[in-house]
Structure 1
Amino acid sequence: MVSDTKRKVLEYFTAGRNMYKLMEFGEARQLFAQALELDPDDGPSRVYLDRCQHYLDNPPPEDWDGVFVMQTK
């Protein structure tokens, strides 16, 4: 059984992923942050929050295909 909190985290994460794919990184970052407020240990939301910040600081090219390429180990 999924708790109400986990269900809400999933809603925020899903909405955040949709915004991420649309290159709406500011909105996506806010949604991932809301998920993390409910569950600070949610790893996927943390990863995408960090990626959103990366793309806000370093915008991807217009033809970006949604793939995150790690630059360092």
Structure 2
Amino acid sequence: MISEEKQQLLELFAQGRKYYKLMNFEEALKTFQKAREIDPSDGPSRVYELRCKHYLKNPPEDDWDGVFTMKTK
């Protein structure tokens, strides 16, 4: 059985992914940040937080398939 806190984290992450796939990067960012308030060391939420910030500054094409492609090393 997982803790209530971990359950909240998982639910927030899942919701953030839904926003992300819908290209609603502002809401996705807020949701991933809420998840990291529960667990600041949550790596997956941190990765998506950074991706959302990137896409807010550099929106993907309209036919974006949800895949993040690194442009630099």
Q: TM-score surpassing 0.5?
A: yes
Deviation at 1:25, TM superposition (A): 0.1
What residue is the counterpart of 2:27 in the other structure?
Answer: 27
Structure 1: gaps of 5 or more residues? none
What residue is the counterpart of 1:60 in the other structure?
Answer: 60
Partner amino acid for 1:63? D
Tell me the number of residue pairs that the alignment of Structure 1 and Structure 2 aligns.
73
Extract structure 1 runs of 4+ deviating beyond 6 A. Answer: none
What residue is the counterpart of 2:12 in the other structure?
Answer: 12
TM-score, normalization: structure 1?
Answer: 0.97
Distance 2:71 2:5 in 1: 34
Distance 1:2 1:41 in 2: 17
RMSD in angstroms over aligned alpha carbons? 0.6
TM-score, normalization: structure 2?
Answer: 0.97
Deviation at 1:28, TM superposition (A): 0.3
Partner amino acid for 2:48? Y
**Are positions 1:44 and 2:21 aligned together?**
no
